[in-house]
Amino acid sequence: MHSTILNTPLSNQSKTPTIRQFLMPTLAGTCLGLAFISPTLSWLLFVGLCLTIYCLRRVNHTRPLFLYCWIIFGIKSAIVLHWFWYVYPIPWLPTTLPTQLLLIGVLWTGTWVSIGFGAAIPFLAYIPLRTYFGEKVLYLFPFLLVLSEVCGSFLFSIYSLGPSSVPNINFGFGYLGYAVAAWPGMLTLAKLAGVYGLSFVVSGLGVVLFGCLRAKRWWYCIIVFLLILLIGTQQDTTIHQTDVAIEGTTAVSLATRFSGEMLNSSSGRMLQSDQLNRAVRIALSYQPDYVILPEDSRLTSHFTSAQAALEHLSQLSSSTILLDSARTSLETGQGSVLRSYTYNLSTNQLELYDKQYLVPQGEFVAYWVLLLLRNGRNEILTNTVETTQNYRPGPNQQEPDTLSILFCFESASPLRLNADGHAFVAHIVSHAWFHSPSRLWYQLQNMLRVQAAWSDIPIIVTSNQAPSYMVDATGRLQQGQTLERQAYWTLIQYGLPE
């Protein structure tokens, strides 16, 4: 019965799809979403693409087509963004656990619904294009799909608009190209047009596979699908161990393990301060060219001022560039910024740079969330959220001359990095809120691999409560050399090309 419904001639289909006719787009979105969960499931991307094209061809009216696309891309995003639930429980939020689940559920649902809606908009042109081009409209499918990904990101930025944001296309979770970033040859293609190029190529392969199926060329279908499975099993997801050339440029990454519960208590903060100071002294004793601390490490706050911190660090080294960052209150009293402090100990200079792209709900609160909180008459919850998540894009908008910085979750942007003239990009991360979100780390890892290949520059990831590694300019993962390991931190040294 199900196949009978799906094979109903286009001219006989109702403008309003039945519930059973939604099964195929639901399956398509599920396959697309599962492709992001694990390397072993990435081949499902092509199954999802074939099902998506099949759904497009089975409708002859705009309303069901839009609904089908909304379902497909919405379900895909819902699965891709399942890591939202890793923030539960939130230790600093003064609410009951059911309330926390409700808040997370509302934010998660609103995110995938808005992305799915935006992604469906470009496909409104599909039926007019089919009327004009006929069956050749399938050749335009890759263009529509890439455009739909951009529109999904844009509509999400509208949905999450808040006091500290502007409309943008920086939320790249779920871009199809990322699902195959570890496939052989894909990172070479990424050098040409980043994830946009990968999504275009992947969707084009989906069109080819669908064409073989539609023409009932079964041997071609079997060969193409087996080839996809074979290539998919050759993925390189290993973090390789490489030797560090002592005579070359070296960077020491201070990977830390300070949990959210620890940082939320005064005794935990004291322990973190003591351990961080000790780790920095040891790192500087190796006299590397760079020492990188995770995001919001707040080494600078251990001193009366940044200048006092510079004077102290200059006594420990005269050749290193050290990167710290911290939440800093604006002198105007209008919230806080996430500020990086780049200490050039060879020239005794300090450079400041403030994070410009803030994470919705993580670093600022959307207008609609603020409205709900203020109408909820829970002053304690409202005040806690507004004081904890009131970051602003800071006034220091010029990156340091000595270092290119990529803050936490800025790696989610599909845009090319602007890091010309730098030896590497320092990607500083803190996942103290999360609880070992391995699938989120897998997605972010693929994003960084594409970014490094497209931008042709190594990226050193330095994290708190998350993996630390280097992505070289080809997109290959590098482990680095462990210099010293303690209970709360590890020093990792990387060699950089001259």
Number of domains in the chain: 2
Residue 420: per-residue pLDDT: 83
Same domain, 470 and 441: yes
Helix intervals (H) in 160-217: 186-214
Domain boundary among 170, 205, 232: 232
Please indicate, yes or no, if residue 343 is contained in any of the structural domains. Answer: yes
Backbone phi and psi for residue 110, each to the nearest 5 degrees, phi listed first: -60, -35
Q: Rounded to an integer, what distance in angstroms lies between the CA atom of residue 337 and that of residue 423?
A: 26
Same domain, 159 and 28: yes
Please indicate, yes or no, if residue 370 is contained in any of the structural domains. Answer: no
Same domain, 175 and 308: no
Question: What is the extent of the structural domain holding 303?
Answer: 249-358+393-496
Please indicate, yes or no, if residue 165 is contained in any of the structural domains. Answer: yes
CATH (domain of 334): 3.60.110.10
Same domain, 150 and 265: no
Same domain, 312 and 428: yes
Please indicate, yes or no, if residue 460 is contained in any of the structural domains. Answer: yes
Q: How do strand 404-406 and strand 425-430 relate by DSSP bridges? A: parallel
Residue 7: per-residue pLDDT: 43
- Helix, strand, coil % in the chain, rounded to nearest 5: 50, 15, 35
Same domain, 279 and 421: yes
Amino acid occupying residue 128: P
Same domain, 52 and 153: yes
Q: What phi-psi label fits residue 352: left (phi over 0), alpha (psi between -120 and 50 degrees) or beta? A: beta
Please indicate, yes or no, if residue 337 is contained in any of the structural domains. Answer: yes
Beta carbons of 402 and 268 less than 8 angstroms apart: no
Q: Rounded to an integer, what distance in angstroms lies between the CA atom of residue 79 and that of residue 89?
A: 20
Q: Give the number of other CB atoms < 10 A from CB of residue 183.
A: 21
DSSP secondary structure letter of residue 240: B
Beta carbons of 69 and 32 less than 8 angstroms apart: no
Same domain, 167 and 278: no
pLDDT values of the chain reduced to their tens digit, one per residue, 498 residues:
344 433 444 444 556 666 767 899 999 999 999 999 988 899 999 999 999 999 999 898 999 999 999 999 999 999 999 999 988 777 666 677 787 888 889 999 999 999 999 999 999 999 999 999 998 999 999 999 999 999 999 999 999 998 878 899 999 999 999 999 988 889 999 999 999 999 999 999 999 889 888 877 777 777 777 777 777 667 777 777 666 555 678 999 999 999 888 888 889 999 999 999 999 999 999 999 999 999 999 999 999 999 999 999 999 999 999 999 998 887 766 678 899 999 999 999 999 999 988 888 777 888 887 787 777 666 666 666 666 667 888 888 888 888 999 999 999 999 999 888 899 999 999 998 888 889 999 999 999 999 999 999 999 999 999 999 999 999 999 999 999 999 999 999 999 876
Residue 252: per-residue pLDDT: 97
Q: Rounded to an integer, what distance in angstroms lies between the CA atom of residue 387 and that of residue 366?
A: 14
- Report the 3 state secondary structure along 243-259: CCCCCCEEEEEEEECCC
Q: Give the number of other CB atoms < 10 A from CB of residue 272.
A: 21
Q: Rounded to an integer, what distance in angstroms lies between the CA atom of residue 341 and that of residue 297?
A: 11
Residue 294: per-residue pLDDT: 97
Residue 170: per-residue pLDDT: 94
Please indicate, yes or no, if residue 243 is contained in any of the structural domains. Answer: no
Domain boundary among 204, 232, 260: 232
Least Cα distance to 36 among 479, 487, 441 occurs for 441
Beta pairing partners, 496: 249
Residue 341: per-residue pLDDT: 97
Same domain, 281 and 216: no
Please indicate, yes or no, if residue 292 is contained in any of the structural domains. Answer: yes
Least Cα distance to 263 among 309, 290, 301, 291 occurs for 301
Residue 6: per-residue pLDDT: 39
Q: What phi-psi label fits residue 230: left (phi over 0), alpha (psi between -120 and 50 degrees) or beta? A: alpha
Residue 164: per-residue pLDDT: 76
Same domain, 212 and 259: no
Burial of residue 267 (CB within 10 Å: 0-12, 13-18, 19+) is exposed
Output the DSSP codes for 222-234.
Answer: HHHHHHHHHHHTT
Output the six-digit token pair for 436. Answer: 């070992």
Output the DSSP codes for 280-345.
Answer: HHHHHHT--SEEE--TT--SGGGSSSHHHHHHHHHTT-SS-EEEEEEEEE-TTSS-EEEEEEEEET
Residues whose CB falls within 8 Å of the CB of residue 314, separated by 6 or more in sequence, listed in order: 345, 348
Residue 475: per-residue pLDDT: 93
Residue 225: per-residue pLDDT: 75
The upper half-sphere exposure of residue 15, i.e. CA atoms within 13 Å in the direction of its Cβ, equals 3
Same domain, 292 and 353: yes
Same domain, 26 and 150: yes
Please indicate, yes or no, if residue 348 is contained in any of the structural domains. Answer: yes
Beta carbons of 13 and 59 less than 8 angstroms apart: yes
Beta carbons of 394 and 386 less than 8 angstroms apart: no
Domain boundary among 174, 205, 232: 232
Q: Rounded to an integer, what distance in angstroms lies between the CA atom of residue 91 and that of residue 67?
A: 39
